[in-house]
Each structure stands twice: as C-alpha cells, then as structure tokens.
Amino acid sequence: MQPLLTVHQLTKRYGDICACDRIAFSLYPGQVLGIIGESGSGKSTLLKAIAGQVPIDTGEIQYRDRADNLINLRTLAEPQHRQLMKTEWGFVQQNPGDGLRLGVTAGANIGERLLDVGHRHYGKIRTEALAWLSQVELPDGRIDDLPSTFSGGMQQRLQLARILVTRPRLVLMDEPTGGLDVSVQAKLLDLMRSLVRTLHLSVILVTHDIGVVRLLAQRLLVMQNGQVVEAGLTDQVLDDPHHPYTQQLVNATLTP
C-alpha cells in the first residue's frame, strides 16, 4: 500500500526558534496518527505547515490524491491547493468558532461546503445537511439555528459535519476535544472513532491528551522542542516509552 501523505525533513523556524526540526513520517490510508507533546513543542506548527497555512523553510510534503497522482504540496499552485482543502482534506479546529461560520445557520454551514464543490440543487443540499446532522448526532430540528445557540460539544459536532460532507480522505485535527467538559469529550471521542472507521478516514490528530491518542490513534509521534523524540505504534510507545520525555508524559498522566 502506498502512503497517502509523506512528510520529508520538514523544518520551520520562527527567528531563532525551530518550531519543527526535520520532521519525517508517512501516513497510510485509513490510519490515525497522533502527535503528542507539551505546549510549545511544535505540534500546531507542524499541522499548519502540512495544511499550507504556514510556509516551511525546508523539506517536502507529498500527497497521493484520489486520482492517484502524487502531488508535491510545496510547489502546488494556490488555487489547486485551496481546491484540495475543500474536497480531499478537512481541518478540525480546536476552537469551533474558527472552523464554523457563526453568522449562518447550522444547515448553511454544512451546505456551504457542498456549494463550494459545485452542488447547486437546494433541496438536495438540505437533504444532505439533514443526513449529516444525524450522522453527528445533532437533532434535525436545529438545522435552521445559528451555531452560536449550540453548546461547545454541539459546535464541534457541527464542525465535523461541515468537513465530512464533502467526504474528505485526510482530516487534520488540532486538539478537537480541547476546552470541553470530560463527559462531552468522551461522547465526541466515541463519535469521532466511529466516523473514522465507517468513513475510512486518514487522520492526523494533534493533542496533549494521552487518553485521546490511546482511544483514536494507531500510530504516535512524540514531539519535544520541535523534534520527534519517539515514534511508533501508540500502545507500544505508551506502554514501553523509551525516551525520557515520553516517560515523563506517561508518568504525568498516571499520577494526577
């Protein structure tokens, strides 16, 4: 099987700070890759660099698209990049306000992505929006409500529906359960786990929460000061951490 995404020696500096230092990994179809590390370790920068939201200094990012073309994202023209983001990729923001349009209804938030990719039939768009509300376990009756009337957990579900409606192959998630109550987090994680399986999604999931990666990610990268200090299967890395930093992370969650 060919990787869906390959990151080669990606480096990103902010002045003297090396936020990402020669990061390399491959992501295979249907795989969830967790990226864990404390605040400032470079997780969000890596995710943004992959999404083309921050320019990188050196390295390459290659993506194999639906038509089986190998695309070099660093040299991809801006319009093609934007189109890829709307169709084959999705980005789940930690703050739902960054991923949703708060001034339009829940249905319009979902429908807008379909309009973006060329759907024009209003009735069909509404039917799709209703189907996706139900997939993310939001009541049909909320379709005409503004997201600002939703709870934090509901807004995150709506963000998932807005992204998944165009059936992306690769979803990037930055602390998707951050800032939510523990019980709301648990329900959202269950939903995410079932969506990842049923839709065969490939996911890069950034979090500082070991519980989240244990539940969702098969593979794990541990980042410290911009470098990957440990990588491997999640259970192996967490049950038998080799690097002192990973040991410290694991111990910190064992002793509350």
Ligand X SMILES: Nc1ncnc2c1ncn2[C@@H]1O[C@H](COP(=O)(O)OP(=O)(O)OP(=O)(O)O)[C@@H](O)[C@H]1O
Interface residue list for ligand X (CB under 6 A)? 14, 17, 19, 37, 39-45, 208
Instruction: In whole angstroms, give the CA distance from residue 136 to residue 164.
Output: 10
Rounded to a whole number of angstroms, the minimum distance from the CB of residue 94 to ligand X is 8
Q: List all residues 6 or more positions away from 115 whose beta carbon is below 8 Å from its beta carbon.
A: 125
Least distance in Å: CB of 177 to ligand X?
Answer: 13
We find the least distance from the C-beta atom of residue 229 to ligand X, in angstroms, to be: 13
**Overall residue count recorded for the chain in this entry:** 256
| Closer by beta carbon to ligand X, 18 or else 24 | 18
CA-to-CA distance for 137 and 18, rounded, in angstroms? 41
Compute the least distance from the CB of residue 43 to ligand X, in Å. 4
Return left, alpha or beta for 248; rule: phi > 0 is left, psi -120 to 50 is alpha, else beta: alpha
Q: For ligand X, give the closer residue by CB, 94 or 135.
A: 94
Closest C-alpha among 217, 248, 251 to residue 233 = 217
The distance of closest approach from Cβ of residue 232 to ligand X in the complex, given in angstroms and rounded to an integer, is: 20
The values of phi and psi at residue 255, to 5°, are -115, 95
User: How far is 147 from 104, CA to CA, in rounded Å?
Assistant: 8
Which residue lies nearer to ligand X by CB, 15 or 123?
A: 15
Dist. CA 39–CA 245, nearest whole Å: 13
Q: Which is nearer to ligand X, 49 or 71 (CB)?
A: 49
Nearer to ligand X, 97 or 139 (CB): 97
